[in-house]
Structure 1
Amino acid sequence: MALMPVDEALRRILEGAAPPAEPEVLPLSKTYGRVLARDILALRTHPPFAASAMDGYAVQASEAIAGAKLKLQGEAAAGHAFDGPLAPGSAIRIFTGAPVPEGADAILIQENAEKLDDGLVLVNEAPEEGRYIRPAGVDFTEGRTGLAKGRFLDPGAITFAAAMSHAELPVVRKPRVAILATGDELRLPGQVLGPGQIIASNTFGVAALAKAAGAEVIDLGIAIDRMDALDEALDTAIAQEADVLVTIGGASVGDHDLVQKALTGRGMALDFWKIAMRPGKPLMSGKLGGMRVLGLPGNPASSLVCAHLFLEPLLTRLGGLPDPDRIRTAILSTDVPENDLRQDYLRSDLDTGADGELIATPSPRQDSSLMKVFADARCLIIRPPFAAAAKAGSTCEVMVLRD
């Protein structure tokens, strides 16, 4: 099978990826960070009455001229409306949020008035008609769309939903991602290693990336290199209705690489399994029934680079979130050599220059098995296939990994 270009591989992985049709309905208090699955309408009008926007006095503007003395008729506070209309020649003490009494058309703010000892209010500066009055429905009205489908539920949106009297909201269900590490040589962190064994570290980084992309993670653990172990893990992924199965390692076609064989034996439609990129050439993509399958390479840098490039955008599409925005333009701090037919992703540091431009410095060591190099990297310098040698000071494209 020929090596597939990165852009074509991403297009095929994302093809048809969309949130599930059925939403999940959650209490409002549990919706932060989720995505609204459909439009929601206002269940009430706000404010439901004309309300005062300031502390002061509710008056008739035509009577409240400078120097006038108005009779103090009563008081209106938030939650305690004045019972009755404003009488001629009178003023009603009013506080922010209180309903404006019938007959009043202006608010004489307290800074422009003086309360006299004989129960009168002196107007020092005449108010404007309608000033400091919030009309009924000025914010939103019952039956109108308040929040649109696809809205990310941040604090402002949640506050608005609460104000519209929604106790629960329909949200996009989180995509379920089953993650399976494979290999006889793998052991969990903290376990004693035997000869030739290593720690299964990739699972934890890929799971963290999946959660950050809004997914629910199903940990399938480690499957040894036997068909029955792989079949058991696949049964679990299917039983738990995973939207995406991510395998780590074993997806090539060597004598000990059984993942692809196990999946195709269960009916997986294999799309591709080789990409023209470095690191991450042996990436597998396919579908097993309604479950998407993404086979990541076993080397840590390869696994995580592929997870950023392909798994993260797949999960955000399935979860209704915006596509990741990680690509920036930077300046090379050092010369880089010409490239071959595979698109390179160089683990690199990223600094900010004196005039604000980003400066990328590739690590001198790019072996895909080196975990510290990836952990220290702030970005990946992207080198297209057959790119000519580039000098220090020239521009390059980078994928930002962390700020």
Structure 2
Amino acid sequence: MTRPALLSLDEALPQLLAHAKPLSGVQRVSTFEADGRVLAQDVTAGLQVPPQDNSSMDGYAVRASDCLQAGALLRVTQRIPAGTQGAPLGVGEAARIFTGAPIPEGADAVVMQEDCEPMEPSYVKVLKPTPAGQWIRRSGEDVTLGSKVLLTGDRLTPASLGLAASIGMAQLHVAARPRVALFSTGDELVMPGDVAPQDMAAGSIYNSNRFFLRAMLQRLGCKVTDLGIVPDQREATVQALRDAAAGHDLVLTSGGVSVGEEDHIKPAVQALGTLNLWQLAIKPGKPFAYGQVNRADPTAGVCHFMGLPGNPVSSFVTFLLLVRPFVLALQGLKNTDITRTAQTANFDWLRADKRREFLRVKRNAQGGLDLFANQSSGVLTSAVWGDGVVDNPAGQTIAKGDTVQFISFAEWLS
């Protein structure tokens, strides 16, 4: 029997995202707690920022017409710290002013204190000619009244939260967190802490995938339910999927998505719903599955399913390539693309593969990329040592000095 051709990532990702309709439900959260959440309602400014013209320097507020020549002598009539409003400024007068303080009526420039010489008893000499508008931050130069400063579908960053706070937003409307059920399959899996290393049975391994998958889901704003390890049994897998689908938006599994006799995920999903994608032309990460599990209550709709390979690097990479954009799209994020930058390879890669490869690399002091020696899908050390991957097209070799496309883990995992 001829197997179907592997699906390319460029074919699979649009098909996958077509199923990622934004979840219903909006939460109102404290702006302090909104970092990383996706905005569900535009944020519109109810004031100008800054609200008034203010000084960008410590110095003296003056009339520029009084300071056309160096050496102008002005009488200091008031002192204006930040948070206070000064009196109107008359001809031949100056006001001692501090950064952030409102510009008094009549003044149209600020002279920084380094360009002034205080004179007794209450005068100041301006040492340089002063143009109108100097060192003044204009009202609304940051935010204008009525403008939309943050848009629905934006993923909030620390800077976003500061901007929202600057216009008085103590709370923000954000998309509901996706509810994700996570479990692993495999009789060989053991949880750290349950068995000491010296007591491990032959063939057993610690379940590392569960730890990084849970952490990455939480970084993406998901509410995660960890359902542990499911035995390699058809009935147990079906029951785990049925139970998980009842109260979650997505079921994410690792392991059991290949075609072996002990790989029960594929037939279990098909028994409860549909399987839409299978086998991708990427390395690592070929055995990836997407589908939908029907809920017991037909009015409750379906639950998404995503199955990742069991090898840790395969699971790690396919999560970043496919699960990450999917769960962000569930939250209404407008753009789930990741930035690729051109970098110089400081290595040779002479074994072109039929599949698109994601090679673990690290930036070096010379500004190039070094390659981790062992690119096996089971070597999780490569993802810890490296700070990103080279996105290498199928059939492509790399020679030292070639320009390659680099994806940073820091951006991917932010």
SS in 2 for 1:46: coil
From the CA coordinates, give the structure whose radius of gyration is larger: 1
Structure 2 residues not aligned, in runs of 5+? 294-300
Alignment of 1:339-354 (within 5 A): 339=353, 342-343=354-355, 345=357, 350=362, 352=364
Deviation at 1:253, TM superposition (A): 5.4
* Aligned equivalent of 1:155: 158
SS in 1 for 2:212: helix
RMSD between superposed Cα atoms in Å? 3.8
Is the 1:345–1:380 Cα contact (8 Å) retained in structure 2? Answer: no
1:295 paired to 2:307: yes
Distance of aligned partners of 1:58 and 1:277 in 2 relative to their CA distance in 1, 3 Å threshold: closer
Distance of aligned partners of 1:216 and 1:90 in 2 relative to their CA distance in 1, 3 Å threshold: same
SS in 2 for 1:225: coil
Is the 1:332–1:361 Cα contact (8 Å) retained in structure 2? Answer: no
1:192-231 per-residue CA deviation (whole Å, 9 max, x = no partner) reads 3446543322222333343445544321111123455435
Distance of aligned partners of 1:17 and 1:327 in 2 relative to their CA distance in 1, 3 Å threshold: farther
Distance in 1 (alpha carbons) for counterparts of 2:284 and 2:67: 78
Distance of aligned partners of 1:298 and 1:125 in 2 relative to their CA distance in 1, 3 Å threshold: closer
Distance of aligned partners of 1:232 and 1:123 in 2 relative to their CA distance in 1, 3 Å threshold: same
Deviation at 1:63, TM superposition (A): 4.2
1:127-153 per-residue CA deviation (whole Å, 9 max, x = no partner) reads 333333333333322212223334443
1:233 paired to 2:240: yes
Alignment of 1:242-321 (within 5 A): 242=249, 244-252=250-258, 254-266=260-272, 268-288=273-293, 289-319=301-331, 320=333
Structure 1 residues not aligned, in runs of 5+? none
The one-letter code matched in structure 2 to 1:2 is: P
* Aligned equivalent of 2:298: none
Deviation at 1:272, TM superposition (A): 3.2
SS in 2 for 1:237: helix
Distance in 1 (alpha carbons) for counterparts of 2:112 and 2:406: 55
SS in 2 for 1:315: helix
Distance of aligned partners of 1:51 and 1:281 in 2 relative to their CA distance in 1, 3 Å threshold: closer
Distance of aligned partners of 1:251 and 1:137 in 2 relative to their CA distance in 1, 3 Å threshold: closer
Distance in 2 (alpha carbons) for counterparts of 1:381 and 1:90: 64
Is the 1:332–1:396 Cα contact (8 Å) retained in structure 2? Answer: no
1:325 paired to 2:339: yes
- Aligned identity (percent) is 34
SS in 2 for 1:33: coil
* Aligned equivalent of 2:133: 130
* Aligned equivalent of 1:358: 369
Is the 2:361–2:390 Cα contact (8 Å) retained in structure 1? Answer: no
TM-score (norm: length of structure 2)? 0.77
Distance in 2 (alpha carbons) for counterparts of 1:78 and 1:277: 58
Distance in 2 (alpha carbons) for counterparts of 1:338 and 1:120: 78
* Aligned equivalent of 1:6: 8
SS in 1 for 2:307: strand
Deviation at 1:126, TM superposition (A): 4.8
Q: What is the aligned residue count?
A: 393
1:46-101 per-residue CA deviation (whole Å, 9 max, x = no partner) reads 2323323333444444445656554443332222223x433454433333332333
Distance of aligned partners of 1:2 and 1:396 in 2 relative to their CA distance in 1, 3 Å threshold: farther
1:341-392 per-residue CA deviation (whole Å, 9 max, x = no partner) reads x5164765556596x44354653x74x555556665666666766x38x585
The one-letter code matched in structure 2 to 1:257 is: D
